[in-house]
A and B are shown apart, each in its own frame.
Chain A
Amino acid sequence: MSKANKSIKELMDEFESVVAWFEADEIDVEKAITQYEKGAKLADEIKKQLSDAKNRIEVLNAKS
């Protein structure tokens, strides 16, 4: 997986910035296509990670 090092949060942040790009008053329609493709790819990656990932639990005991 090429994006293995990116956490879901990082991917989410990238996705948010793609969405924010579209919030501009005027957008370059040609660029919009590549931006959209980027967003769709990020969304797929996030969904994949969300479906696969399990939480890691570590337990430490209190000193009595």
Chain B
Amino acid sequence: MSEAVFDVSGAIAVLNQSLEQIFPTMTIVGEVASFKVNQGKWVFFDLKDDDGSLGCFMSLYSLRTPIEDGMMIKIVARPKITNWGKFSLTVEQIQPVGEGSLKKAFELLRAKLAGEGLFAPERKRLLPELPSRIGVVSSTDAAGYKDFIKILGARFGGLKIEVYHTLVQGLDAPEQIMQGIEHFNEMARPPEVIALVRGGGSADDLAAFNDEPLVRKIAASRVPIVTGIGHEVDTTLSDLAADVRASTPSNAAEILLPDKRELMAGLDASLKHLIVKTENQLNAAERRVDDTLSSLLNRLNLAAEKTENQLKGLTTLLEQLNPERILRRGYALVYDANGQVVCEADVGDNLRIETNKMLIETEVKNVKSK
């Protein structure tokens, strides 16, 4: 039995087939070194540990999380021997590993997207006051989802809630969540708001929400998005790109819907206010009538007083002009036979003189001009 003989390309092809059979993909953890991007399209880096190093290659398009030298990452890659005989890993997925690397990747991507204005406050839209249809992207198995639905039900009823069930952690989660957002956006009649919710988890678990294409998808959604991811202390880039960030899934439900008990109490308060308002109106009208009446009365009083004063003045004047008063002061009135007051007379005329005390009949004895 003689050993098979290959030509070079044949050997490479057979080796690649064998590799593919044993390891269609390999998941490898290591530290990034010599990271570089060629022609704005291709990404090259080495994955190394203390004893070894492997060359990695991928398209910039499939690099969903920024990496740099020194960062610990987990890759899913297809091993391959190139036509030049070099061993290479074609990377399909990358995930930062460990707190330091996750944080580093987070900061790098945050700075990049913030620079593009993706998180700018002026991009944020208001959520509908009272949505009647809500689209939910979450895993129906997750505790966070159950809390969310429970609180929605406790706060308000009669709504249509459409749920797009996805993975919410792991390398495949971002793609599925993006499908969910797209699904709601592409509906002929989209829901009024999308809620993206997931309960608490490790930084690794929540890393799915720091995926660059997902963050961009959230920012680009035509339907407003509220996120409730993890616990209060967790902030993901998805939160930053959303229109409203709730601290938890339960908080997202509270933000989305008013509490029906508060609402009912509000209705009663409003009705009470209407009564008060009407009473105020009546009181004001009553006051206006009272005010008008009393001002009329005032004016009448003033007019009466004025007339009385005038009358008093006239009476005084009249009294002063009264001839009796003049007679009292010692003057006398002289009348002729016809009772007319006279200023002139002839000798022999009979005159009558009136004094304060007496009426005197007399005859003129002598006249002379003054």
Binding site of A, secondary structure by majority: helix, strand, loop or mixed?
Answer: helix
Cβ–Cβ contact A19 & B167, under 8 A = no
Give Cα A26–Cα B159 distance, bound, in whole angstroms: 38
Which chain B residues lie closer than 8 Å to A35 at the CB level? Answer: 274
| A32-B132 CB under 8 A given contacts A55-B152, A64-B176 | no
Provide a sorted-by-A list of 8 A–B residue pairs whose CB atoms are within 8 angstroms: A29-B278, A35-B274, A39-B270, A39-B271, A43-B268, A49-B157, A55-B149, A56-B159
Give Cα A57–Cα B164 distance, bound, in whole angstroms: 11
Binding site of B, secondary structure by majority: helix, strand, loop or mixed?
Answer: helix
The answer, yes or no, to whether B162 is at the interface (CB within 8 Å) is yes
Give Cα A55–Cα B270 distance, bound, in whole angstroms: 26
Cβ–Cβ contact B163 & A62, under 8 A = no
Cβ–Cβ contact A57 & B165, under 8 A = no
Cβ–Cβ contact A22 & B271, under 8 A = no
Cβ–Cβ contact A60 & B162, under 8 A = yes
A interface residues with partner B (beta carbon < 8 Å): 7-9, 12, 15, 18-19, 22, 26-27, 29, 32-33, 35-36, 39-40, 43, 46-47, 49-64
Cβ–Cβ contact B268 & A29, under 8 A = no
Given contacts A43-B268, A55-B153, 10 further A-B contacts (CB under 8 A): A7-B132, A12-B130, A19-B273, A22-B277, A27-B277, A49-B158, A50-B260, A55-B156, A58-B161, A58-B163
Q: How many A-B residue pairs have CB under 8 A?
A: 103
The answer, yes or no, to whether B328 is at the interface (CB within 8 Å) is no
Give Cα A22–Cα B271 distance, bound, in whole angstroms: 10
| A29-B281 CB under 8 A given contacts A63-B179, A64-B172 | yes
Which chain A residues lie closer than 8 Å to B264 at the CB level? Answer: 46-47, 50
The answer, yes or no, to whether B25 is at the interface (CB within 8 Å) is no
| A57-B163 CB under 8 A given contacts A29-B282, A47-B264, A50-B263 | yes
The answer, yes or no, to whether B227 is at the interface (CB within 8 Å) is no
Cβ–Cβ contact B270 & A62, under 8 A = no
Cβ–Cβ contact A54 & B167, under 8 A = no
The one of A22, A33, A55 in contact with B158, judged by C-beta atoms closer than 8 angstroms, is A55
User: How close is A37's CB to chain B, nearest CB, in angstroms?
Assistant: 10
The one of A9, A22, A43 in contact with B130, judged by C-beta atoms closer than 8 angstroms, is A9
Which chain B residues lie closer than 8 Å to A59 at the CB level? Answer: 140, 163, 165
| A22-B157 CB under 8 A given contacts A46-B267, A60-B162, A62-B179 | no
The 5 closest A-B pairs by CB, nearest first: A53-B157, A53-B158, A62-B176, A43-B267, A62-B166
The answer, yes or no, to whether B306 is at the interface (CB within 8 Å) is no
Cβ–Cβ contact B161 & A57, under 8 A = yes
